[in-house]
Amino acid sequence: MDAVPAPVTAPPRHGLPAAPARPRGLAAQGNEGPRPARRAPETLHPALWLGHQLGRSGAPAVGSGFAALDAELPGGGWPRRVLSELLVPHPGVGEIRLLAPPLVAAQRAGRLVMIFDPPADLSAWALARLGFDVDQLLVVNTRARVIPGSDSLWALEQALKSGHVGAVLAWLPPRLRAERLRRLQLAAHNHDGAAFVLRELAAAAAATGITLGSHTHGHPNLARLTGDAQRSELELPLAWLRARYSNVLPVISYPYGLSSPAVERAAASAGYTAGLRIDGGWLSRAEGNAFALPRLNVPAGLSAAGFALRAAGVLSR
């Protein structure tokens, strides 16, 4: 017995014949026509992007003043409407000299440049030698806390949100909650210029959710070392990390991904619990050696399609 019901047609009206019934499942296909091409997210709004477009921006970049650096930065310079965070080992390593060209360029374009919370008194003579108009430079020290309980980042956030500042340079406090940094990032969307924030590397590395592992002391091929040389390359970095941070995982990432059974035994003796190769793809249930764990190789410049193929296991190199 056929269980498929016959198509239902409406009775004819005013003597006109009824329209023929469309085949089931094809009701909408006949009159759709070609579908419009999908528009790129950045054409809809400058704040939209795809995952592989994080380095892109609709606005022209701000030149760094160094051709070699511009060649490495996405877009050929420092981005606008975002925070550019620089991690330094400690203040005073030349960060102002590095960032002077875009800051000076903003001043020469007639726009205000603001510097927040420099870690030491600035030298007007040195700033002038770098090209700054010192009389037009606004330096704000929010760490004085004239009003107890005040928010030291409020002035920086308002400067970014205003949209009237040409460039911003700020040293952030060592302890900074993730939500406060996120508020600054959102405020920077209104800032049509470069915005630089500096943090000490040690403070950033100690942030919640970050764990640290070892990559040896001098980055040698461990398989070519023996005895004390091999042992020191394994022990020194783990001891250095543990003396400075509490979020250390006893995991070694072998330089160049090269190891050997002897290296794996030495790593275990040095206090490590696992070792990582440089390739090998996804970890399988058959993997039984914690000191030869595989990794998924994601080379620089990999396209979204290439990443999808590697994630699917089609390509491993």
For the chain, give the mean pLDDT. 81
Share of the chain above pLDDT 90, in %: 41
Its pTM stands at 0.60
Band the pLDDT of 58: cuts 50, 70, 90: low
pLDDT tens across 189-215, in order? 889 899 999 988 877 777 667 888 999
User: What is the rounded distance in angstroms from the CA atom of residue 287 to the CA atom of residue 154?
Assistant: 51
pLDDT tens across 212-258, in order? 899 999 999 999 999 999 999 999 999 999 988 888 999 999 998 88
User: What is the rounded distance in angstroms from the CA atom of residue 112 to the CA atom of residue 101?
Assistant: 14
CB distance 88 to 198 below 8 Å: yes
Residue 74 predicted with pLDDT over 90: no
Q: Position of tokens 């007007």?
A: 124
Structure token digits, residue 125: 């003579």
- Other C-beta atoms lying within 10 Å of the C-beta of residue 103: 27
User: What is the rounded distance in angstroms from the CA atom of residue 21 to the CA atom of residue 27?
Assistant: 9
**Could you tell me the domains of the chain?**
59-205 (3.40.50.300), 212-311 (3.20.20.370)
User: What is the rounded distance in angstroms from the CA atom of residue 134 to the CA atom of residue 127?
Assistant: 7
Band the pLDDT of 317: cuts 50, 70, 90: low
CA proximity to 85, closest of 168, 151, 155: 168
User: What is the rounded distance in angstroms from the CA atom of residue 10 to the CA atom of residue 4?
Assistant: 19
